[in-house]
Amino acid sequence: MFINLSGGAALQSRLIAIADLMQNGRLAEAERACRALLAQTPQQATALHLLGLICEQSGDAVAGERLVRQSLQIEPANLKFQLNLGQLLHRRGRAAGAAQTYRQLLERAPMEHAARRALVVILEELGRPAAAEAEARTLLQQRPEDADACSLLAFVLDRQHKIVEAEAAYRRALALDERQAFAHQNLGALLSRLERAEEALAVLDRARALGARNFELAFNRGRALSLLYRLEEAECEFVGAVALRPTDIEAQVNLARLRYMRADPAFARDFAAIAAAQPGNLPLQTELARVFKGAGRFDEAERQLRQALTAHGPAPPLHALLAQLLQETGRLAEAEHEAFLAASAMPDDAEIIETLVAILLARGRAQDALPYLAARRAREPLVQSWIAYEATAARLLGREHYRELYDYDRLVRSYMLEPPPGWSSIAELNAALRTALTARHRFATHPLDQSLRHGSQTTRNLIAESDAAIGAVLQAFQAPIADYLRALGQAPGHPLSARNVGGAVITGAWSVQLQREGFHVNHLHPQGWISSAYYVDVPDEVQDTALRSGWLKFGETRFSVPGATAEKYLQPLPGRLVLFPSYMWHGTTPIHGAQPRLTIAFDALPLPEAAPN
């Protein structure tokens, strides 16, 4: 609350007393005193303004706004009144009106910093990040040594994924004022997203030491701790986060995922409890069903979806997820019906259309899938899944285009890795990798949302790891990548080679350890351009060329499609690196013995596309 007091000493004394009552929460007394004053001086602007704020705080926002506007009619040049009106409108959910109020104020008083701060926040809320950034930069230009202004600019940059600039601005804010809990917390969240977990945790712990106690701190500490494989501590933080904000889907999913990978049979208990308590919350119902589906608990997922459909009536996201579930269980006719319901209601939704296309192909109806594929390929030419489905449709229809996309001799290449500097042999490097990676395979089972079955996957991007062996093998991959690009060449009409300009950079890397009966379901890599498999350690059974246990296979789709079986197999060998297009369907055959199979995989993007923001 901002007010200007004017008038004689007696009047000022009465207004101060009213303001003190308000500050102490004694609204009824403040209202009586205000009305008594207005009975004597009905046009006293500050008293009218205070009464408006009292009415709003007491629950009568309509009367509150009317009185605040009335006070402004009496004193239109009162900037504090105008600032309070903006805040009132913002609290009432009228962000656009609040923004207009602040802009009008700033036209008359460009140095009114509180108004500009508030305007930055509102513009961000309104989805106008460029405008928010411009105002934040103006504020910082006016107050270059203001840590709060610097932190606000960092926040706006962060929201626009201008990561490098955002980190620099957060650090500048902390250089100006090291005790800024808000800046520590947000910098920690940014570093956590970048998987710089050690740095993130140190910064977040500093925020907590400065008094931060909120959802964001708990959630981001949970994420950082999970990246460091401190799993019990991570679970405690996620439990705290969902207790503070039980309807936050990201927190619930992270907690359920962590518990699932720790082999907790009641992994979704918190999620299920809040979903049961809020049956009208459609996103909660949908995401809980998705979690059950990812865990292979298909009966529970279907029950959840059908209950939600009964309660809500037709809902495209529910129909689409039910279609995916029915496809998983082989009920293709039902799946197609549900997918068409969803696609008819939301024809521009990429996930829904992908579900429908996958089902049509699984039913052998490639011709029916073509219009959807053509539309999505034109709209999203770099999306790997559309290329994969286009190739499958071309294969079913006997078109030459399939062989252009799935030219295994040209596009799938294997390399025996050369030892990098400092390592006498690949055997020595793999031994060190085995030690480093095994220490990071702390989970009891596979993630909820990956292709892996019966094994574990590292949580943290290996690029962010400091281990010497991991860094060495990532560097050793560079020569094969360069050779692959040279052999690939450049063809403007080909979705892989057309992007072959200026080299490639690894953007994500992870390790997988398969246990007994472990395998990868057929999949593609939607975030990649070139993908890979590197074999650190393989079981003896892979040597059987008849059984081909644990072998890499290409060409077979995620769901069974008549006429789309595996066409190429590659034997795992320690030290072998396989490179292939990210859009190419691939999976593995299961291993059956007790010896694990340890690999590293990565995705690479063309260098100009992968350049940091």
Whichever domain contains 213, its CATH number is 1.25.40.10
What is the per-residue pLDDT for 166? 97
Q: Which of 242, 264, 286 is the last residue of a domain?
A: 264
Calculate what percentage of the chain has a pLDDT beyond 70: 98
What is the per-residue pLDDT for 613? 58
Q: Is the torsion defined by CA of 62, 68, 72, 73 positive or negative?
A: positive
Q: Is residue 41, in this structure, part of any structural domain at all?
A: no
Mean pLDDT is lowest, of 1-10, 71-80, 404-413, for 1-10
What is the per-residue pLDDT for 6? 55
pLDDT digits (tens, 9 = 90+) for 298-344: 999 999 999 999 998 999 999 999 999 999 999 999 999 999 999 99
Structure tokens at 139: 């504020």
Q: Is residue 329, in this structure, part of any structural domain at all?
A: no
For the chain, give the mean pLDDT.
94
Q: Once rounded to an integer, what is the mean pLDDT over residues 521-525?
A: 96
What is the per-residue pLDDT for 502? 81
Residue 238's domain spans which residues?
Answer: 179-264
Residue 7 has pLDDT above 80, yes or no: no
Place of tokens 């140095």: 111
Q: Is residue 539, in this structure, part of any structural domain at all?
A: yes
Q: Which residue has the higher pLDDT, 10 or 574?
A: 574
Nearest to 520 by CA among 551, 566, 541: 551
- Do 139 and 120 meet the contact criterion of CB atoms below 8 Å apart? yes
pLDDT-derived band of residue 30, with 50, 70 and 90 as boundaries? confident
How many C-beta atoms surround the C-beta of residue 395 within 10 A?
A: 22
pLDDT digits (tens, 9 = 90+) for 411-446: 999 999 999 999 999 999 999 999 999 999 999 888
Q: Is residue 375, in this structure, part of any structural domain at all?
A: no
Number of domains in the chain: 2
pLDDT digits (tens, 9 = 90+) for 157-189: 999 999 999 999 999 999 999 999 999 999 999
Q: Which of 264, 294, 322 is the last residue of a domain?
A: 264
Q: Is residue 49, in this structure, part of any structural domain at all?
A: no
What is the per-residue pLDDT for 246? 97
Q: Is residue 211, in this structure, part of any structural domain at all?
A: yes
Contacts by residues 211-219 (CB-CB < 8 Å, ≥ 24 positions apart): 211/181, 212/181, 212/182, 212/184, 212/185, 214/185, 214/244, 215/241, 215/244, 215/245, 215/248, 215/251, 216/185, 216/189, 217/185, 217/188, 218/244, 219/248, 219/250, 219/251, 219/254
What is the per-residue pLDDT for 608? 80
CA angle 110–115–120, rounded 5-degree value: 100
pLDDT-derived band of residue 32, with 50, 70 and 90 as boundaries? very high
Q: 347 by DSSP, 3-state: which?
A: coil
Q: Is residue 374, in this structure, part of any structural domain at all?
A: no
How many C-beta atoms surround the C-beta of residue 291 within 10 A?
A: 26
Nearest to 5 by CA among 62, 45, 63: 45
Residue 5 has pLDDT above 70, yes or no: no
pLDDT digits (tens, 9 = 90+) for 195-242: 999 999 999 999 999 999 999 999 999 999 999 999 999 999 999 999
What is the per-residue pLDDT for 447? 87
Q: Once rounded to an integer, what is the mean pLDDT over residues 527-539?
A: 97
What is the per-residue pLDDT for 609? 79
DSSP 16-37: HHHHHHHHTT-HHHHHHHHHHH
pLDDT digits (tens, 9 = 90+) for 245-285: 999 999 999 999 999 999 999 999 999 999 999 999 999 99
What is the per-residue pLDDT for 261? 95
What is the per-residue pLDDT for 143? 95
pLDDT digits (tens, 9 = 90+) for 51-90: 999 999 999 999 999 999 999 999 999 999 999 999 999 9
Residue 375 has pLDDT above 60, yes or no: yes
Alpha-carbon distance 231 to 224, whole Å? 10
Nearest to 89 by CA among 109, 72, 74: 72
Q: What are the counts of helices (DSSP H) followed by strands (DSSP E) for the chain?
A: 29, 9
Q: Is residue 339, in this structure, part of any structural domain at all?
A: no
Calculate what percentage of the chain has a pLDDT beyond 90: 89
Q: Which of 264, 280, 307 is the last residue of a domain?
A: 264
How many C-beta atoms surround the C-beta of residue 407 within 10 A?
A: 13
Which residue type does 282 have? L
Whichever domain contains 494, its CATH number is 2.60.120.620
pLDDT digits (tens, 9 = 90+) for 442-492: 998 888 878 889 999 999 999 999 999 999 999 999 999 999 999 999 998
What is the per-residue pLDDT for 10? 80
Alpha-carbon distance 146 to 96, whole Å? 27
What is the per-residue pLDDT for 612? 58
